[in-house]
Amino acid sequence: MTLSSIALIGVPAAAADEQQATAEQNTAAKPSVIINEVYAGNTKAAGDPDSKRCDWAELKNTGSTDVDVKGWGIYDSGKKAKKHYTIGTSEVTNTDTVIKAGGYLVAYIDPDKAKPAKTCDAAPDMKVSSIKSDNLIVTILATSNCDDKNASTKFNDSATRLTLQDSDDNVVADAVFDFSGDNAKTISGDTGTKIKVSYASSQYYRPANEIGANPSDLSVKSVTGSDKGAGAAASSDSGVISGSNVTDDEAENNASKALDWQVEHDKDSAELFYSTYTAQLSSKRKGMEAEGKTWNYRDILAQFITMHNKNSNVLLIWSGDWPAYSSNSDKYYVILAGEGFDSTDEAWNWCKANNYGPNDCMSIDLQ
């Protein structure tokens, strides 16, 4: 056995009643004890107290008080070796389990007495840690939801749908990710594991800068064994997992609800243009034949987000809500510039200055 990637778990691996008090003390003190050095594949260096050459890990107490690490676990998280070794048992040989303040302890790990790491099937708890808005790279903190805090969860499904929702459960991003093979994660311990995923422009349903404004307000819904649609996110960032689209029906449903949410969100701002002019940039409805394609909800939303990324004042309205469009029996999602003008000429000058032609930009007030 050769240690590959290890972690120190400051909770007793055994659950004996007599260790409970020690467990509580050790858990509180855990942040002060670190893995200082690891010697793997020991064939030449000094052995343990029984002269047996073992891999070893040197622990350091960086705190100001002594810490007893009896019952703590050293977890080997390498790709092949998934083992757990308990300090203070025959699995880990050492003469004392108390590390003095500022002191060290060398734990010799006996490969012949290793125990398989405990696992559970409970889905991990997940929350958004941070968002990089440029291309919607989301860092998710996943923590173990196992009853036994020494157990870990394998996050290795090849079709895990991760849906980001706001505080009202509205979907803001949705994609299916492959966590199998090299993308697999082991979720263990209270500190959790960070997972970075990226959503392509077809996989989020609000402007990226708005999604990233308050990441702590977002929740993560995880569903394994999900159906995939076509397309995948592309990211140049190392360690970021790209996702496939959800199915067309699910994406279209997400986009339809997102359009309705955006219309309601922008209604108060649009009321300013009862008494002044703004510029209309687009009017589209589902099934409309225009610009060489048949428009669906995803196309309409994508156009709005693209324009919003260019100009954050852009608004989305439903023509049926405003008197200016009452003469037209067909109703449309309308994109407005969100800029106020005193005259139609001023609005048209704005259109020209922003490279919009007469077929793409027109002056309007909403009365």
pLDDT at 345 over 90: yes
Q: Please give the pLDDT value at position 304.
A: 97
State pTM to two decimals. Answer: 0.69
Q: Please give the pLDDT value at position 151.
A: 75
pLDDT at 211 over 70: yes
Residues 224-237: pLDDT tens digits?
999 998 765 565 57
Alpha-carbon gap, residue 151 to 79, rounded angstroms: 17
pLDDT category at 337 given cuts 50, 70, 90 is very high
Most confident of 15-19, 72-76, 335-339: 335-339
Q: Please give the pLDDT value at position 139.
A: 95
Mean pLDDT, the chain, whole residue set: 82
Q: Please give the pLDDT value at position 189.
A: 65
Q: What percent of the chain has pLDDT over 90?
A: 52
pLDDT at 332 over 50: yes
Q: Please give the pLDDT value at position 154.
A: 84
Q: Please give the pLDDT value at position 6.
A: 53
Q: Please give the pLDDT value at position 69.
A: 84
Radius of gyration of the chain (CA): 29
